[in-house]
Amino acid sequence: MRHTTLSLLVFTSLACGYQLASIAPASTLRAPAVSMGEYRLNNYMLPGPLNVLNNQVLVKLSKADDKTAGGLFVASEESSKPREGIVVAAGPGRTHPETGKLLANSITEGDYVLLADFTGEKVEYCGESHLFVNADEILGTFEGGKTSAEAFKPTRDRALVEIAEVATETASGIALAVSDDEQPTLGQVVKVGEGRMTSLGELQPLPIGVGDNVLYGKYSGTDTLLEGKKFKIVFGSDCLGKW
């Protein structure tokens, strides 16, 4: 993943035309206000800006995940990894079918988010590529827009785990062959989300915390690379034990 600080980027307006905004400190960057103009969703003209419903969010992908100059979607090794983007609009959340409680959306307009691959419904909004994504499927946000482990905030009951390195040689210096089946399934927790939301709209803390060493399921989570280090984003329930 690219190492990017949004304070060094010139954002375009998150409405039709994407008017250039002035550069601002990363801590103050939010989604610019919608400007007047024509609103199009795919090939349909809209009477006004699109209203996002329920627990959905509308994400404008970062440029590496956008189209080429010829209008073709980038299909590369990079595009198969977790993707980044800025939230153009977000719904209020979803109502629990049994309790009737509104479970508030954890993502808000202006958040810079990390998405898993194969997530969301791709649309063209005002001539730009966007994704509709359920907020529950967003891996986390980058506070201040800086794509680093320190700035990363996992969503809900997810945790960011720094993957332990696999020994590639013995103490005497003999090289070891490491297969995919022997890849590490343990690491140290560096960030945790605010917790799982219950049917009553209350947050239930994770059973793990920052600094814990954890063992997680072999096929759990999503791999990501931040500042040259390998991390795994897992649910708290994916962790089998801690010490």
- 120-176 pLDDT, tens digit per residue, is 899 999 888 999 999 999 999 999 888 899 999 999 999 999 998 765 555 555 654
Element (H, E) at 93: strand 93-95
Per-residue pLDDT at 178 exceeds 70:
no
* Euclidean distance between CA atoms 238 and 217, whole angstroms: 6
The mean pLDDT of 57-66, rounded to a whole number, is 77
Share of the chain above pLDDT 90, in %: 55
pLDDT band at 32 (very low <50, low <70, confident <90, very high): very low
The HSE-up count of residue 179 (CA atoms within 13 Å, CB side) is: 1
Helix (H) or strand (E) holding 83: strand 83-90
CA gyration radius, the chain:
20
pLDDT on residue 61: 87
Query: Does position 74 have pLDDT exceeding 50, yes or no?
Result: no
Would you place residue 118 in the very low, low, confident or very high pLDDT band (cuts 50, 70, 90)?
Answer: confident
Q: What's the pLDDT at 13?
A: 37
Q: Can you count the helices (H) and strands (E) in the chain?
A: 0, 19
**Range with the lowest mean pLDDT among 31-40, 92-101, 149-158?**
31-40
State the pLDDT confidence band at 43, using cuts at 50, 70 and 90: confident
Report residue 103 as tokens. 């479970």
Strand, coil or helix: 215: strand
pLDDT higher for 182 or 110? Answer: 110
Q: Which tops the pLDDT comparison, 185 or 66? A: 185
Give the mean pLDDT of 90-108: 94
Nearest-angstrom CA–CA distance, 2 and 144: 16
Range scoring the smallest mean pLDDT among 2-16, 53-67, 141-155, 203-217: 2-16
Residue 239: DSSP 8-state:
E
pLDDT at 90: 96
What local confidence, expressed as pLDDT, does residue 72 receive? 39
Collapsed DSSP state (helix, strand, coil) of residue 138: strand
Least confident of 89-98, 138-147, 177-186, 228-237: 177-186
174 vs 168, 170, 182, 184, CA distance in Å? Answer: 8, 5, 17, 20
Instruction: Identify the pLDDT of residue 141.
Output: 96
- Determine how β-strand 222-226 pairs with β-strand 93-95: unpaired
The rounded distance, in Å, linking the Cα atoms of 81 and 226 is 12
Please compute the mean of the pLDDT values over residues 217-238 and round it to a whole number. 91
Q: Comparing 26-35, 38-47, 117-126, which segment has the lowest mean pLDDT?
A: 26-35
Would you list the DSSP string of 187-239? EEEEEE-S-EE-TTS-EE--S--TT-EEEE-TT-SEEEEETTEEEEEEEGGGE
Instruction: Dig out the tokens for 239 from the structure.
Output: 């962790």
177 vs 241: CA distance, rounded Å: 27
Residue 12 has pLDDT above 60, yes or no: no
